[in-house]
């Protein structure tokens, strides 16, 4: 599904003052939190409209990522009674990043703000994001001020991961997830990136343009359970590393050099023991230690190289990242592509 409007990229000042705002929320099994989320977002749009901060046509767009519960039914019910609510249903679960990209590439609007449906992103930060947009920024990052609500292990590992990416020269905004504002200009630039393995936190900074940061306090999940268990978090973290830097491959080269140097030193030591003391067990140092050491390094290296080759293989197939099964909401009915 393509963009619903031929939105102008060169916006006059009056359009920046009252932009058409689209809120994009990926959803997966969010039936418990959806009623409260809808209530708060509809009230937010009404308040922004009354304050003259947004223009007519601003709306909420839920992207149902193949939910197995009543999420899509609820979205349809809310869309039937409120013109400010619309829904996009994917044909199957494609993952948070693909669902988010579907929303960004499909919905209309002068500005699009992406956020989670679990109400952990602070809605009070949205007016401040719009203020930065009116000041001329094309991308505004919502950044957590603190991570006090996280458990100790998650807080330490998350901050270490951001520092690791920075150390590998990957451009990411520290403590930023997917709570961000993007202008139509930035979205059209993002459309040109044909990435198979999505890591939007690293991809958006590649666009350039004028950016700003709005800090907020992340709240506890209002209802339901997290859709990002440890396994998915680790997979996303690995995606960020392998999609934006060849550092692991260069690290293998460094490890190979160190192992070669270590093997040379070990051989010198074993030879010295054999010649000077005569107490060395014949064949032990020259076979067992190098065998285990080199075997482990080789397996690790093959695994990292295989991961990069797998990404190349999957990218060459150029399969669609998602399929839209259906849509709902008055915005789609009046402005069908």
Question: Does 257 share its domain with 222?
Answer: no
Question: Does 251 share its domain with 239?
Answer: no
Question: Does 253 share its domain with 122?
Answer: no
Question: Does 282 share its domain with 209?
Answer: no
Question: Does 172 share its domain with 256?
Answer: no
**Predicted confidence (pLDDT) per residue in 178-221, tens digit:** 889 999 999 999 888 877 777 787 788 888 889 899 888 876 65
Reference 67, options 90, 83, 98; nearest CA is: 90
Quick check: is 3 in a domain?
Answer: no
pLDDT number for residue 87? 92
Total domains present in the chain: 2
The b-or-e profile of 46-66 (16+ CB within 10 A means b, else e) is eebbeeebbbebbbbbbbbbb
Residues 6+ apart with CB under 8 A from 97: 198, 199, 200, 236
Question: Does 50 share its domain with 138?
Answer: yes
Question: Does 210 share its domain with 150?
Answer: yes
Quick check: is 133 in a domain?
Answer: yes
**Predicted confidence (pLDDT) per residue in 70-85, tens digit:** 899 999 999 999 999 9
Q: Which domain holds residue 271?
A: 247-317
Question: Which strand (E) or helix (H) includes residue 260?
Answer: helix 247-276
199 touches 240 (CB < 8 A):
yes
**Predicted confidence (pLDDT) per residue in 130-174, tens digit:** 999 998 899 999 888 766 656 666 666 666 666 766 666 667 776
Question: Does 219 share its domain with 283?
Answer: no
């Amino acid at each position: 599904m393509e963009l619903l409007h031929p939105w102008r990229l060169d916006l006059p000042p009056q359009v920046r003052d009252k932009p058409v705002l689209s809120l994009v929320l990926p959803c997966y099994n969010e039936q418990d939190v959806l009623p409260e989320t809808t209530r708060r977002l509809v009230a937010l749009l009404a308040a922004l409209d009354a304050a003259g901060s947004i223009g007519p046509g601003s709306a909420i767009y839920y992207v149902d990522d193949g939910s197995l519960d009543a999420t899509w039914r609820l979205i349809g019910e809310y869309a039937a009674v409120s013109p400010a609510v619309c829904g996009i249903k994917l044909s199957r679960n494609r993952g948070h990043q693909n669902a988010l990209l579907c929303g960004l590439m499909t919905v209309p609007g002068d500005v699009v703000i992406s956020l989670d449906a679990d109400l952990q992103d602070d809605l009070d930060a949205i007016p401040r994001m719009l203020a930065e947009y009116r000041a001329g920024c094309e991308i505004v990052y919502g950044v957590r001020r603190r991570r006090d609500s996280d458990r100790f292990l998650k807080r330490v590992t998350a901050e270490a991961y951001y520092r690791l990416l920075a150390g590998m020269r990957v451009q990411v905004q520290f403590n930023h997830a997917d709570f961000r504002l993007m202008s139509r200009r930035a979205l059209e630039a993002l459309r040109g990136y044909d990435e198979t393995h999505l890591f939007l936190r690293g991809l958006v900074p590649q666009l350039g343009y004028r950016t700003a940061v709005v800090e907020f306090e992340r709240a506890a999940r209002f209802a339901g359970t997290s859709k990002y268990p440890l396994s998915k978090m680790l997979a996303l973290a690995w995606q960020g590393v392998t999609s934006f830097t060849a550092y692991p491959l260069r690290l293998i080269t460094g490890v190979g050099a160190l192992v070669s140097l270590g093997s040379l030193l070990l051989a010198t030591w074993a030879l010295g023991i054999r010649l000077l003391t005569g107490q060395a067990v014949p064949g032990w140092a020259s076979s067992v230690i190098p065998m285990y050491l080199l075997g482990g390094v080789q397996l690790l290296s093959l695994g990292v190289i295989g991961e990069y080759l797998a990404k190349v293989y999957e990218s060459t197939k150029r399969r669609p990242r998602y399929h839209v099964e259906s849509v709902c909401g008055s915005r789609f009915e009046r402005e069908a592509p």
